[in-house]
Structures are given as C-alpha cells and as structure tokens.
C-alpha cells in the first residue's frame, strides 16, 4: 500500500488501535464489564468470558449451521444441546488462549497489513476489479457488522494464524515415511465375505412360556412404567407473529428515502501522482528543494502530459505506485489526507495539479477518471427493504407478545386458554412425558421445563409453568392435565414383547456361534459346507468398496505370508461376517503426485497434533475455570 496515506476512512484506525489494544491487554471480556460474577461462564487466567459473549457466539453458530441441518432432525436437535454449547465455549476458550499468547509474545498486526489483507478480498471489489469502500460497508451492514468489528475479527485471525505457523513450523515428515504410507494406501487386497445373518435363524429359535416368565421375573426393573404426565402447552415463536405483520407501500418508499445513502455509490476519482518526499519537520531549505523539484516536473508534464508515467517511475518516492505510472486507482472522498483529498475532488477530469503539500512531501496529482454518485432504483431494492422491515416488525411483535405471554401464563395461572385467545395461539396436548424425557417432543424435552412441570406447585395445584425459552426466540409454557404414578407393568401386557425380544436375541447368538464355528474350520484348512461367499472384490485402505470399517481394518491386519487368510467379527447390525483375503497386490509405481499429496496430508495431521498439544499446554498454564452452573453444563468435562 502507499506510505503517504495517513487517513483511511473505512478502517477507522484510531478506534481500531484503541480496541485492539484493549483486547490485547484486557481481553474481549472488557467489553462486557458491569455484569455480576454469576454471569461469568469461564475464566482464562485473569480474562473472563461472559454469559453474553457465550450466548452471542452460540446463536451465531446456530444460525450458521441451521441451514445445513434442515434435512437432519437429529443434527438440528444437537444445536440445542448442552454439548453444543460446551463445544462453542471451548472454541472461545481456545481462541482466547491463542490470542493472549500471541499478544504476550509481542505479535502485532500493523494497520498497513490489515488494510492490505482486507483490500485484497474479492467480495469487496467493484465491477472494475477495484476495492470499493461502498461495497465493503454495505456487505458488512448486511452481516450486522461495523468496519471496526470486522477489522478486529480479521486482526485476531491474523494473530492466531501467525502463532499457529510458529508452533507448527517444526512439523516435518520424512520422505521414507511418506513413501511407506503411499505404498500401504495403494496396496490392494482381494476380499470376499461369508455373512451369518440373525434373520436366517430367527424362525428356528423357540422360546417357551417358562423362559419368557423367567426373563420377566429376573428383570423386573425393565418392566416399570415411570411416573408420567400429560400436559397442555403453548408455543410462542416468531412464526406466531408473522401472520399479523404487514408492510405498506408507503412504508417501503419512506424507508427507501430515509436510507437512500445505503443505495448510493460514493463519488470516486481515479488518480495518479508523483511524490517528491520530504519529512514534515525537515529544514525549510530541504522543503524548498523538494517543492522546486516538484515544480520542475510539473512544468515538464504540463508541456507534455505523456511524460507523467515515465517521470513517476523515475522520480516518485512512493514505490507502491511509481512502478504503475503513479496509478493510485479509484479513491473516495475522505480517503486521503486533507490537502491531497481537497485538490483531487476540486479538480476536473484530466486535470494535472500541484505541487500539493502534505506531511509526506509534495505531490503532482492527475485526475484520470470520475465516477459520480449512482443511485440504485427503488424497484431493485424493494424486496430487500420489505424483508428488512418485515423482520424488524416481526421482532418487535414477538418481543411485545413474549411479554404478554410471560405475564398472562403467570396471572391466569390455572388456564392457558386466556393467553392463547389473546395472542391467537393453539393449546396443544402432549403424549405421556416423564421427569427425565419428553420423548420426541423436542419443545418440552428441556430439563428446566420438565422440572417445572413435575414441581409440587404444578402437580398439586395444576398451575401453569412460567414461560421458558426452549430455543432461540421460542417460548413454551405448560400445564399438567393428567398424572400417573410409577407402576409395575403386568406380565400379560409385555409377554409378547419379551418373547419377541428373546427370539431376536437367540438369533443374534446363533449367528455369532455359527460364524465362529465357520471361522475355526477355515483356519483349520477346512471348507464350510453350503457356504455362500460373496463375489471377490479389490479394496484398499482408501477405497473400501462398501466393506465395513472394522472389517477393513481386520482385513489389512492379516499377514500376506499365508493366503487365503480369514478373519471374522460381529458387526454393528447384528450380523457375523467372515472375511477371506485371497490375494494381495502391492503398488508397483509411486508417482510424484502421490508422494506430494500424502506428504501434505501427513504434515497437516502432525501440525494439528502439535497445535492440540500446544493448546492443551496453554490451557493448563492459564488455569481455565468453567462455571458449569452458570451455563447448564453440569456433568460435562471441562
């Protein structure tokens, strides 16, 4: 970038330096002061992580991952679990450890380096391939980020990356190890399978009534209906508020006018310059010499404008632009120092002005092009404006409704109907739930809500629970309507299920025993009568061709000294499988690409192991403490 630039509007350097210094010295938690100790969820040495910071990061990660989990209910549910929250907290702790360590080692990111990184992001380029201030700020606004916040994130990323490079630079992989790995990966083994499936034996398994009764009597603890209840419940979320929200054409047009600056480009001017540098506190004689030199060059250029580029290359003291004929690209108002900025934006296209004095010396400035302010038509941004207004209104409506919801379920404690009628909600009824689980009802299956449902107040007086936020912007209140105590299940009610279970278990045992007998025969050199082997197929460590992962490990664990070789095991679907390895083919040729790919992969693995060990060491030294009570992580490891 250019040495003479001291004021760069989009990077807010003065603010950035203060924030980065504050972070480096005190940690991010300094921005969440004023909270009581109960809201501190973790401490990394003398640096605290607040409940507010954790909640913000959890929600950001949930929003980021939610689109990827829409087709996977189990994965979507994981985003609401204590385990997920714990993983986010550990990521925050890990980042804090690395940032604190980088700071203590004196690592820094200069404003120039930060500027160069951000100005090189293609997402911020305009149609001509130049960095656009307007596009930069617009994209950040869309992510609810200010330039200062974004620049802090980039600074932290650069610091963490720099520390990681220092830690992992010693991860070296020898060529002999890489060569051996490639050979192992490329080795092919011909495998066929003999499968013993429980389904084959199930019908032949007989279970007597006496066996069923014995199992029932010996496992009474399995046949108990727990204490349980059915509840009525209400759900309030943003979807509930959406139906009542509308956006008028007047609101759309008024918002467009109020936010017109967001839909306008800033005036930009393409400039080239020649800098004759002289320090600000230089003697007057040196300044005069520099100014005279600039005037001489200006006179030459005025006489022959085509000389601007060659003179810039020969005489300009700004190496960043001199080699490009002095080209600075497009600049927006306020980007340069004041005197340079004023001369540039008061001149017409094609003008050559100067010498202009700044604290860096004397500039000859050429205005190469002008981009005026352009306004995006209302029709092109109407949908985005409507989306923003609707989102804001939905949030406001939900916020107001949530207050009513919370108040009414408390004041009208003996019924959910009044608040349901007022807010247009539907009272739902659950299936049986217990103190520990609401089954597939993920809205009710929250420990704090279940505890409230089975509280004495709820059970004895049939009171509504208070409103609980069970998911982001989702409130639930419940009321017990039916209750049953723990009771033993009658033998007659479960006899058929027990019999079915014993038949299945017997079939599993039979499959394993038959498989083990077959394996023993094969290892003794005898064939198995009636064996139906699968068609042989070649597998490698990388391409298992549908082979069970545990089976693949077993197959590559057998010696190639005696073939065919056999190995057997039960796999996770209840089948017992005998694997026959009949042929082993070593990789004949190792290519340079294979070696390079394997080396990179091994190096990455070693770097990750080194980094994990380094972080564990930092964590131990920093005395990390987690307040599990404050975040509901009881029972999880720190």
* pLDDT, tens digit, 9 for 90 and up, residues 85-132: 888 998 999 998 998 888 888 888 888 888 888 888 888 888 788 888
* Residue showing tokens 């340069």: 336
Q: Are 154 and 34 members of one domain?
A: yes
279-295 in b/e form (b: 16+ CB < 10 A) is eeeeeeeebeebbebbe
Q: Are 384 and 522 members of one domain?
A: no
Query: Do 152 and 283 touch, CB atoms closer than 8 A?
Result: no
Q: Of 371, 406, 428, at which residue does a domain stop?
A: 371
Compute φ and ψ for 355, nearest 5 degrees: -70, 135
Grouped pLDDT means (10 residues each) for the chain, 638 residues = 31 29 33 47 84 83 80 77 86 90 87 86 85 84 80 90 84 80 88 94 94 95 93 91 84 90 82 89 89 92 91 86 86 84 91 90 92 86 88 88 93 94 93 92 91 92 92 92 93 95 95 95 91 92 87 90 92 90 88 82 85 88 79 48
Q: Of 488, 518, 551, at which residue does a domain stop?
A: 488
Separation between Cα atoms, residue 392 and residue 403, nearest integer Å: 17
Q: Are 505 and 395 members of one domain?
A: no
Compute φ and ψ for 232, nearest 5 degrees: -90, 145
User: Exposed, middle or buried by CB within 10 Å (0-12, 13-18, 19+), for 420?
Assistant: buried
Q: Are 366 and 428 members of one domain?
A: no
CATH of the domain at 295: 3.10.50.40
Residue 611 placed within a domain: no
Query: Do 545 and 537 touch, CB atoms closer than 8 A?
Result: yes
Q: Are 467 and 539 members of one domain?
A: no
Question: Can you give the pLDDT at residue 165?
Answer: 86
Query: Do 486 and 547 touch, CB atoms closer than 8 A?
Result: no
Number of structural domains found in the chain: 4
| DSSP SS3 for 450 | helix
Q: Of 524, 598, 526, 474, whose CA–CA distance to 184 is shortest?
A: 598
Q: Are 497 and 484 members of one domain?
A: no
Residue 554 placed within a domain: yes
Q: Are 532 and 569 members of one domain?
A: yes
Q: Of 438, 471, 488, at which residue does a domain stop?
A: 488
Q: Are 419 and 550 members of one domain?
A: no
Alpha-helix residue ranges (DSSP H) falling in 187-335: 198-202, 209-218, 238-242, 249-258, 284-303, 308-315, 319-322
The helix, strand and coil proportions of the chain, stated in percent and rounded to the nearest 5, come to 55, 15, 30
Q: Which domain holds residue 317?
A: 267-371
């Amino acid at each position: 970038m250019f040495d003479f630039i001291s004021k760069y509007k989009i990077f807010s350097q003065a603010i950035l330096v203060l924030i980065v210094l504050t972070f480096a010295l005190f940690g991010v938690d300094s921005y969440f002061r004023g909270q009581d100790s109960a809201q501190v969820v973790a401490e990394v040495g003398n640096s605290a992580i607040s409940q507010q910071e954790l909640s913000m990061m959890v929600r950001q990660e949930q929003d980021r991952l939610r689109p990827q989990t829409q087709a996977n209910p189990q994965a979507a549910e994981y985003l609401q679990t204590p385990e997920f929250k714990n993983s986010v907290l550990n990521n925050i702790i890990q980042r804090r450890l690395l940032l604190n360590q980088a700071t203590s080692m004196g690592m820094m990111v200069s404003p120039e380096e930060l500027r160069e990184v951000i100005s090189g992001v293609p997402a911020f380029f305009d149609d001509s391939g130049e960095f656009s201030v307007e596009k930069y700020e617009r994209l950040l606004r869309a992510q609810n980020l200010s330039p200062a916040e974004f620049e802090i994130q980039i600074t932290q990323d650069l610091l963490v990356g720099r520390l990681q490079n220092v830690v992992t630079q010693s991860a070296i992989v020898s060529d002999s190890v890489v060569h051996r790995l490639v050979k192992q990966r490329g080795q092919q083994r011909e495998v066929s399978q003999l499968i013993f499936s429980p389904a084959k034996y199930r019908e032949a398994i007989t279970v007597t009534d006496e066996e069923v009764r014995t199992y029932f009597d010996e496992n009474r603890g399995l046949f108990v209906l727990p204490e349980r209840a059915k509840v009525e419940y209400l759900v309030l979320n943003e979807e509930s508020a959406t139906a009542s929200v509308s956006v008028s054409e007047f609101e759309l047009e008024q918002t467009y006018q109020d936010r017109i600056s967001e839909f306008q480009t800033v005036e930009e001017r393409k400039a080239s310059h020649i800098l004759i540098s002289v320090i600000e506190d230089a003697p007057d004689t040196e300044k005069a010499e520099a100014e005279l030199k600039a005037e001489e060059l200006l006179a030459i250029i005025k006489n022959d404008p085509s000389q601007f580029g060659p003179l810039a290359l020969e005489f300009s003291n700004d190496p960043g632009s001199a080699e490009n004929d002095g080209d600075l690209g497009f600049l927006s108002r306020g980007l340069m120092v004041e005197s340079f900025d004023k001369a540039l934006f008061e001149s017409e296209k094609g003008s050559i002005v100067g010498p202009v004095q700044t604290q860096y010396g004397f500039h000859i400035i050429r205005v190469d092009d002008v981009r005026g302010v352009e306004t995006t038509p209302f029709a092109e941004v109407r949908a985005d404006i409507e989306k923003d207004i609707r989102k804001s209104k939905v949030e406001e409506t939900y916020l107001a409704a949530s207050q009513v919801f919370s108040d009414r379920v408390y004041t009208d404690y003996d019924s959910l109907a009044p608040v349901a009628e007022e807010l247009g909600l539907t009272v739902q009824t659950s299936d049986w739930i217990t103190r520990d689980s609401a089954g597939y009802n993920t809205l009710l299956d929250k420990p704090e809500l279940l505890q409230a449902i089975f509280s004495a107040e709820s059970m004895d007086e049939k009171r509504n629970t208070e409103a609980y936020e069970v998911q982001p912007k989702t409130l639930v209140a419940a009321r017990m309507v039916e209750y049953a105590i723990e009771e033993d299940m009658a033998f007659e009610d479960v006899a058929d299920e027990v019999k079915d279970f014993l038949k299945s278990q017997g079939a599993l045992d039979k499959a394993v025993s038959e498989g083990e007998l077959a394996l023993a025969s094969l290892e003794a050199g005898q064939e198995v009568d009636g064996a139906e082997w699968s068609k042989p197929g070649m597998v490698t460590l990388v391409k298992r061709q549908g082979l069970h992962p545990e089976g693949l490990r077993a197959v590559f664990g057998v010696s190639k000294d005696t073939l065919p070789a056999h190995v057997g095991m039960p796999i996770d679907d209840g089948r017992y499988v005998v694997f026959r390895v009949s042929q082993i083919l070593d990789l004949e040729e190792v290519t340079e690409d294979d070696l390079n790919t394997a080396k990179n992969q091994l190096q990455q693995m070693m770097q990750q192991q080194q980094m994990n060990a380094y972080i564990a060491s930092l964590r131990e030294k920093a005395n990390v403490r987690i307040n599990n009570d404050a975040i509901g992580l009881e029972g999880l490891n720190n």
